[in-house]
A and B are shown apart, each in its own frame.
Chain A
Amino acid sequence: MLTPEVEIFEVDIAIVGAGPAGLAAAREVSAAGATAALLDSYSRPGGQYFKQPPRAFRAKQPGRLHHDYLLPQTLFGVVAESPRLTLLTDTTVWTAYAGPEGFSLHCYRPDQGGLEVRAKKVILAPGAHDRALPFPGWDLPGVMTAGAIQTLAKSQRVLPGRKIVLSGSGPFLLPVAALLAESGANLVGVFEAARPRDIFRYSASAWAGRAKLGEGAGYLRVLRHFGVPYKFGRAVVRAEGRERVERVSVARLNSDWSIVPDSLETLEADAVGVGYGFSPSLDLSQLLGCEHRYDPVQAASFAVHDPRQQSTRPGVFVAGEICGIGGSAVALPQGAVAGLAAALDLSRVPARPDDTARLAKYQAEARQAQAFAGTLNRMFALQPGWQTWATPETIICRCEEVTLGRVRTAISEFDLKNVKAVKLTTRCGMGLCQGRVCGPLVIAYTASLTGRDPAVIGSFTNRPIVRPIPLGELAR
């Protein structure tokens, strides 16, 4: 394992992430005549939205795998056929840095030697992961993210349990619920924390997203058809059971998401999916020194970029969820802009007559999709009352088993002022997930306990090793 060999691969452009954003970027890079390596940790391209079933599964009706089946197939086809594109799956970028000639990305490949990708430009399209909010019992087996349930059901074709409850906020709950209902699951209920009157304050600006609204209405019809209750202003705020979840308490919520007293209802469930939007994967953009900005609506920071998707670090382009949560409708055109702009910035790529028009078209598509995503983000924005669901005994950092009580005591006892200090004092965020799960929670708690603005209290990540890798890899 300690072989010193590291394979070196040189390309014009390195693209991290083969989700919608990375795939669209690759298509444009290739069309412009430049070369790219498309790197992804998973064994198949597609990212989250275009996630494919495993190779060994055969679909007789593949068109029914995805409501938008042709689009990903076309992109996979471009990547497979273009002589200028190299898809490297099972390849995790664990560190990256800029040198005099360009960028170096170090990759870990299980059961293979190390790989260093050298590129003149980098496009970061690493996507996002579900954001879960803590409540007593959220670490019991059987409680998982809505995305975990979707992944199990959609690409692995297995149900998470026999009595399922979904709870969270935002439009993503709907496709997960519809998928479960159509897969024969016993879905006991879907609980959306936001209340209709808070959501529909923004309905006028939702017109821009008619098509997506139509998709949502389709999911609601499926739920009605299967008799699945979909309730607003409610959330799972407690899970109980021995060794695994056996029942949950569903509360009615005030508009700030605090619990309405005496409103708890108990439901039996052996699987619970929670999802309160998504957290962007900012590790590589932070490592490469890109600037990020905190967005109070989304309660998260995102990579700052110009209209060509270039970050504040020249040569580093960013696309998709790390620029703001917007789903594939935003990720695809942003990826296209990033791919085209990065390729055009290479000295050896000659400009084509229609480049400017193409760029403008993708930019317009991205802007329009972003406007609608912005409306959705406001409709389903987290409200601070969620911070009252956990008790002092509730674990906040799942890896290091740090409770909310410990976080609170540490902040007041040592007069901690920022997230890094909380991390060093409590070990929150020091586990293998590197704070990906508890990061947003610790930022929110620290902000409210210190009375400081979440925009100024910092974040956890900023590690030279952005993904855990075997130690042997470091010795190469």
Chain B
Amino acid sequence: MFHAHGTKMKDLRIRPPFEAAEIERGEPFEFNFAGQPVTAYLGETIGTALTAAGITTFRVTRQGGRPRGIFCGIGICFDCLVVVEGRLNQRACLTPARPGLEVQPQAGAGHLEPEFGD
């Protein structure tokens, strides 16, 4: 569920010739998501790197066990929650990816619980 669909395809990053502003990303590196290495470039969020790799499910919901990923993309909806280095409820769409980060899909939460945050 937390894996890429259609592996072996090229990633979803926008690259020349479609890069009008000729943006150069920062340095590439890897972090871990659900125990698998994921490539990211400095400046990308965790959500971006997962999206680029074709991974769309970041967590499952508390009651229905439903898969969820990026929804609003701007930090409003709290759908893309992941566990970053043991911290719960981190929004993948806003949290910068960093080399070696341990990121786990979040099971549950999505409401104000005592374990929220640090």
Contacts from A to B (Cβ < 8 Å): 1, 41-42, 48, 53-65, 129-130, 132, 139-145, 147-153, 156-162, 182-184, 243-244, 270, 395, 398-401, 430-433, 436-437, 468-473
Contact = CB atoms under 8 A, between A and B. Distances in A.
Contact of B78 (A64, A270, A468): A468
Q: Which 9 A-B pairs have the closest CB atoms?
A: A470-B117, A148-B73, A56-B43, A56-B26, A54-B43, A184-B18, A141-B69, A60-B22, A432-B78
Contact of A157 (B19, B58, B68): B19
Contacts of B18: 182-184
B71 A1 contact: no
A468 B116 contact: yes
B101 interface: no
22 contacts: A57-B43, A58-B24, A59-B22, A60-B24, A141-B57, A145-B73, A148-B71, A151-B74, A159-B12, A182-B18, A244-B56, A244-B57, A395-B66, A398-B77, A400-B111, A401-B61, A431-B110, A431-B112, A437-B71, A468-B116, A469-B117, A472-B118
Contact of B77 (A58, A60, A433): A433
Q: Is the interface of B mostly helix, strand, loop or mixed?
A: loop
A399 B12 contact: no
Given A60-B24, A159-B12, A469-B117, A129 B79 contact: no
A432 B89 contact: yes
Nearest to A438: B77
B93 A148 contact: yes
Given A56-B25, A59-B21, A145-B72, A160 B51 contact: yes
B67 A141 contact: yes
Contact of A65 (B21, B24, B111, B112): B21
Contact of B73 (A151, A159, A471): A151
Given A54-B43, A55-B43, A139-B68, A470 B26 contact: no
Contacts of B44: 54, 156, 158
Given A48-B74, A270-B5, A398-B77, A430 B13 contact: no
A399 B78 contact: yes
B41 to A, nearest CB: 8
Interface of B: 1, 5-6, 9, 12-14, 17-27, 41-45, 47-48, 51-52, 56-58, 61-64, 66-79, 81, 89, 93-94, 96, 109-112, 114, 116-118
A156 B77 contact: no
A431 B76 CA distance: 12
A219 B118 CA distance: 45
Given A152-B48, A471-B116, A147 B74 contact: yes
Given A398-B79, A437-B77, A471-B117, A144 B12 contact: no
Contacts of B116: 432, 468, 470-471
A56 B44 CA distance: 8
B51 A141 contact: no
A472 B58 CA distance: 26
A430 B79 CA distance: 14
Contact of A401 (B21, B66, B75, B94): B66
A182 B20 contact: yes
A140 B56 CA distance: 9
Contacts of A140: 67
B46 to A, nearest CB: 11
A141 B68 contact: yes
A140 B79 CA distance: 11
A89 to B, nearest CB: 12
A150 B93 CA distance: 13
B68 A61 contact: no
A122 to B, nearest CB: 21
A57 B23 contact: yes
Contacts of B43: 53-57
B22 A472 contact: no
A238 B97 CA distance: 33
B5 A244 contact: yes
B99 to A, nearest CB: 12
B72 A147 contact: yes
Contacts of B109: 432
A470 B116 CA distance: 6
A52 to B, nearest CB: 11
Contacts of B13: 157-159
A11 to B, nearest CB: 25
A431 B78 contact: yes
Contacts of A430: 111-112
A432 B71 CA distance: 14
Contact of B12 (A130, A162, A437, A472): A162
A60 B16 CA distance: 12
Contacts of A270: 5, 56
Given A59-B23, A156-B45, A401-B66, 13 more contacts: A41-B75, A42-B94, A54-B44, A56-B26, A144-B70, A144-B73, A148-B73, A152-B73, A158-B13, A399-B79, A401-B63, A430-B111, A468-B116
B71 A145 contact: yes
Contacts of A156: 44-45, 48
Contacts of B74: 48, 129, 147-148, 151
A256 B70 CA distance: 30
Contacts of A432: 78, 81, 89, 109-112, 116
